[in-house]
C-alpha cells in the first residue's frame, strides 16, 4: 500500500505551484452535500485543504474543500457496485461529503493523512506499516512548519479596506474565480451574479452564470476611480457612484436576468459534540437530546409517626364486643336463639338428667 507519487505537473509559475505543498494525491469518488451523483476526481491534499481536479494532468482545480471546518471522519460500511471500493464520510460544519477510495488499504492511508493534517499528530488508531507512519510524521512536521511560518497576506488596496458602513453589497464573496463559478453552479436558486476580489489584488470583479445548453460564465472587472466611485471596465465603461450601483447597473442592463447572489449561511438545528471511543480511539459525533431533561420526582410531605386522623389508620377491633352480654331486647335474634334451644339440645339434656338421677339412686 504505497503512497501515490507526489509530483508537480505544471511549470514553476503554474497554478499548481501556487498551492500549498501536496502531501498525498490520488483518485477519489466525491459526492458533496448537495450533489446527487458521485464524480471521480483527482484529489490532492495540499496544506489543510483538499483540491479536486478533473484529471491528474489538469493545472486548475474545479473545487476546494477547506478542512478547517472539520467535524468528524468515519467509515461508511454501505456496499458499492465495486466490491473492493471503500467509502468514507467526511463531515464538515456545512454538511457531509462522501468519499470513495479504490480499496480498504487506500482508505486507511487517506484517513492517516487527513488526521495528520487536521490534528497535527500521527493517529494511533489506524493499521499502517512503519514506513507509512514515518511518512505521516514527516507530513505533520511539514504542516506545522508551514503554519508557523505562514504570514497573513496584506489586504489589497480595494474598497474592502475602506471602513465605510454599507458600502459592500451582500452579494460580495471573498472567493477566487474558480470558486465563484463553483458556488454559482452549486446554488442556482440563490442568484447568478456575485462580487469578488479581482485576481490582481487591486480591483474587484463580477462573476455571472447563465444557462445556455450548459453553464455560461462571464467575468467583469470593476476598478476604483481616483476621483471616487467605480467603473465597470467593458467596451463602453459604465461609471458608478458605489458598489451597490455597480450591481444595480448590471441588473438594469440585463433587464433583470442577472440577480445578486445571496446565500444564506446554514445554521445547526441540533447541538452536537465529538467524543473519542476509549477502545479504538475513533471520534464519533453525538447529538444532544432535544427534549428537556426529566426532573427528579418531588418527595412526599413528611408525616407524623403516629397519625391522629381516624381515617389514616383503621382502629383495632374491640375484643369486648365479643364478650359483651346480649341485649335483653325481645326482638334481638340472638336472644331468641339462646332462649329457644333446638329439639336436639332438649333431648340431650333430658337423657343427661335421667342418667344423673339413676346414678344417685344406685349410690343410695
Domain ranges of the chain: 22-150, 177-254
Q: What pLDDT is recorded for position 271?
A: 87
**8-state DSSP, 70:** E
Q: Which CATH class is domain 177-254?
A: alpha beta
Q: How many residues does the chain have?
A: 364
Helix boundaries (H) for the chain: 104-119, 130-149, 177-186, 243-253, 320-323, 333-339, 343-363
pLDDT score, position 234: 92
Distance CA 274, CA 72 (A): 8
Name which of 279, 271, 289, 272 is nearest 72 in CA terms: 272
* CATH of the domain spanning 22-150: 2.30.29.30
Q: Say what the pTM is.
A: 0.43
Q: What is the pLDDT of residue 251?
A: 93
Which positions of the chain have pLDDT values less than 50? 1-3, 5-13, 151-166, 309-314, 316, 318-324, 326, 334-338
Kindly report the backbone phi and psi dihedral angles of residue 73, in degrees, each rounded to the nearest multiple of 5, phi listed first: -140, 120
Contact between 220 and 205 (Cβ < 8 Å): yes
pLDDT at 192: 95
Write the burial class of residue 229 (CB in 10 Å: 0-12 exposed, 13-18 middle, 19+ buried).
Answer: middle
pLDDT of residue 323: 45
Question: What is the 8-class DSSP label of residue 249?
Answer: H
**Pairwise CA distance, residues 22 & 8, whole Å:** 9
- What's the CA angle centered on 105, arms 104 and 106, to 5 degrees? 90
Query: How much is the pLDDT for 331?
Result: 52
Q: So what's the pLDDT on residue 321?
A: 44
| Residue 156: all three cell numbers together | 489589497
Residue pair 210/192 in contact (Cβ under 8 Å)? The answer is yes
| Cα 8 to the center of its chain, rounded Å | 36
Q: Could you tell me if 165 and 119 are in contact, meaning their C-beta atoms sit under 8 angstroms apart? A: no
Residue located via cell numbers 505562514:
150
Amino acid at each position: 500500500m504505497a503512497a501515490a507519487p507526489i509530483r508537480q505537473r505544471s511549470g514553476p509559475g503554474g497554478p499548481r505551484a501556487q498551492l500549498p505543498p501536496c502531501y498525498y494525491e490520488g483518485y477519489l469518488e466525491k459526492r458533496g452535500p448537495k450533489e446527487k451523483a458521485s464524480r471521480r476526481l483527482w484529489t490532492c491534499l495540499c496544506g489543510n485543504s483538499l483540491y479536486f481536479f478533473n484529471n491528474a494532468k489538469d493545472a486548475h482545480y474545479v473545487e476546494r474543500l477547506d478542512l478547517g471546518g472539520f467535524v468528524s471522519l468515519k467509515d461508511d460500511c454501505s456496499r458499492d457496485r465495486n466490491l473492493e471500493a471503500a467509502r468514507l464520510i467526511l463531515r464538515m460544519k456545512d454538511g457531509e461529503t462522501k468519499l470513495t477510495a479504490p480499496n480498504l488499504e487506500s482508505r486507511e492511508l487517506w484517513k492517516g493523512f487527513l488526521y495528520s493534517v487536521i490534528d497535527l499528530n500521527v493517529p494511533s488508531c489506524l493499521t499502517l506499516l512503519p514506513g507509512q507512519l514515518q511518512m505521516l510524521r514527516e507530513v505533520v512536521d511539514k504542516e506545522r512548519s508551514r503554519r508557523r511560518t505562514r504570514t497573513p497576506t496584506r489586504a489589497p488596496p480595494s474598497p474592502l479596506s475602506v471602513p465605510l458602513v454599507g458600502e459592500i453589497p451582500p452579494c460580495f464573496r471573498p472567493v477566487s474565480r474558480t470558486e465563484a463559478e463553483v458556488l454559482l453552479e452549486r446554488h442556482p436558486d440563490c442568484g447568478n451574479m456575485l462580487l469578488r476580489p479581482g485576481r490582481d489584488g487591486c480591483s474587484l470583479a463580477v462573476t455571472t452564470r447563465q444557462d445556455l445548453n450548459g453553464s455560461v460564465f462571464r467575468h467583469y472587472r470593476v476598478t476604483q476611480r481616483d476621483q471616487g466611485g467605480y467603473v465597470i471596465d467593458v467596451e463602453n465603461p459604465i461609471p458608478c457612484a458605489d458598489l451597490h450601483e455597480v450591481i444595480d447597473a448590471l441588473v438594469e442592463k440585463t433587464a433583470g436576468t442577472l440577480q445578486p447572489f445571496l446565500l444564506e449561511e446554514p445554521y445547526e438545528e441540533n447541538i452536537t459534540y465529538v467524543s473519542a471511543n476509549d477502545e479504538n480511539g475513533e471520534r464519533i459525533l453525538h447529538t444532544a437530546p432535544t427534549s428537556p431533561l426529566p426532573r427528579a420526582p418531588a418527595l412526599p410531605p413528611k408525616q407524623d409517626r403516629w397519625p391522629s386522623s381516624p381515617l389514616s389508620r383503621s382502629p383495632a377491633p374491640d375484643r369486648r364486643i365479643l364478650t359483651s352480654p346480649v341485649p335483653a331486647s325481645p326482638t334481638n335474634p340472638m336472644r331468641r336463639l339462646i332462649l329457644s334451644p333446638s329439639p336436639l339440645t332438649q333431648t340431650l339434656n333430658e337423657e343427661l338428667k335421667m342418667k344423673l338421677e339413676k346414678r344417685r339412686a344406685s349410690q343410695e
